[in-house]
Structure 1
Amino acid sequence: MQLRFLGKNSKSGDCPTLYATDRDTYLVQGWKIFANDLLMKLTIREGETAVEVPAELFQHLEKDGLPSGEFRRLGDPLVILTPGGTYVVQGQEVTDPGALAQMTIPDYETVVEVPKAAITALLEEPHGADLQRRAQPAL
C-alpha cells in the first residue's frame, strides 16, 4: 500500500495524521480510545477499531481534490462528534507492515482505513427532505 501524506494538525511531534492511499481509501491516524463513555457508544466488529481525531484534521482533504474538509452530516465512518469537538472515526485497523513502516505511530495512537467514498459522502450536501427543509423560510 502506497501512502500520500495529506496533513496533520500540529507542526511538532506525532499527532493525528491523514493519508490518502493507492487503494481509494484514507488512513486516519489518531488517538486510541480509552474512555468508557465513548467505547460504550461503539459497535466495533472484528478487525476494526476506532480513533479520535480533531475535526480540523479533515481540512487536509482539500489536498486530495475534495471541495471542502468540512463535514455536512455524520454517519459511517464518523460515528461520534464528541462534546470536545473531536470526531471518532471507525474503520479497518491497519496491520499492513509496509503501510505502518511509512508512518510514525506513538503508543497512544493507532490507524484506521476508511473508503474515500464514505468520507466523500459525508462532505456532500444532504439530499431530499433535509435539503428541502433547509430551503424553506422560517415562519
Structure 2
Amino acid sequence: MKLRFLGKNSTPGDSPTLYATDQDSYVVQGWRIYAQDLLMQLDVPEGQTAVEVPIELFEHLAKDGLASGEIKRFEAPIMICTENGTCIVQGPMMRDAEALSQMRLPDYEDCIEVPRSSITALLEDSSGPDHPRPA
C-alpha cells in the first residue's frame, strides 16, 4: 500500500498524521489511548484499535480534493469527542508492512486504516431542526 502524506497538526516528535492511500482509504496516525475513562467508553473488537487525534487533523482532507475537512457528523469511525478538542477514531489496525515502512511511528502512537467513504460521510451535514450537531 502506498501512502500520500496529507498533513499533521502537531509539533516535532508529537505527530498525529493523516495519509491517503492507493486503496481508497485513509490512514489515521494518532496517540494510543491510556486514559481509563476513555477506554471504558469504547468497545474495540479484535483486530481494531483506537487513536486520539486533534479534530483539526481532518482539515487536511481538503488536500485530497475534498471541498473541506470540516467534520459535520460525529459518528463511527469517530467514537468520542473530548473536551480538549480531540477525537477518538476507531478502526482496523494498520498491518500493511509497506505502509508502515513509510511512516515514523513512535512507541506511544498507533495507526488505523479507515475507508474513504467512512471519512467523507462525516463531512456531510445531516443536521436539521431535529438533529442538532454536537458541541
Common topology (TM > 0.5)? yes
**Paired residue for 1:42?**
42
- For structure 2, the 5+ residue unaligned runs are 131-135
C-alpha displacement of 1:62: 0.2
**Paired residue for 2:121?**
121
Q: If each structure's helix is expressed as a fraction of its own residues, which one has the higher value?
A: 1
Moved over 2 A (4+): 10-14
Do the aligned residues in 2 keep the contact of 1:79 with 1:88 (CA within 8 Å)?
yes
Query: After superposition, what is the alpha-carbon deviation per residue over 1:18-41, rounded to whole angstroms, capped at 9, x for unaligned?
Result: 000011110000000000100011
**Paired residue for 2:84?**
84
Partner of 1:123, secondary structure, is coil
Q: What is the number of residues matched between the two proteins?
A: 130
Question: Greater CA radius of gyration, 1 or 2?
Answer: 1
**Paired residue for 2:30?**
30
* d(CA) in 2 for partners of 1:47, 1:11: 29
- For structure 1, the 5+ residue unaligned runs are 135-139
C-alpha displacement of 1:53: 0.2
Q: TM-score, normalised by structure 1?
A: 0.90
C-alpha displacement of 1:87: 0.7
Query: After superposition, what is the alpha-carbon deviation per residue over 1:79-123, rounded to whole angstroms, capped at 9, x for unaligned?
Result: 110111101000000011111000000000000000110111110
Do the aligned residues in 2 keep the contact of 1:14 with 1:105 (CA within 8 Å)?
no
Partner of 2:122, secondary structure, is helix
The more displaced of 66-75 and 10-19 is 10-19
Identity of aligned residues (%): 60
* CA-based RMSD: 1.2
**Paired residue for 1:16?**
16
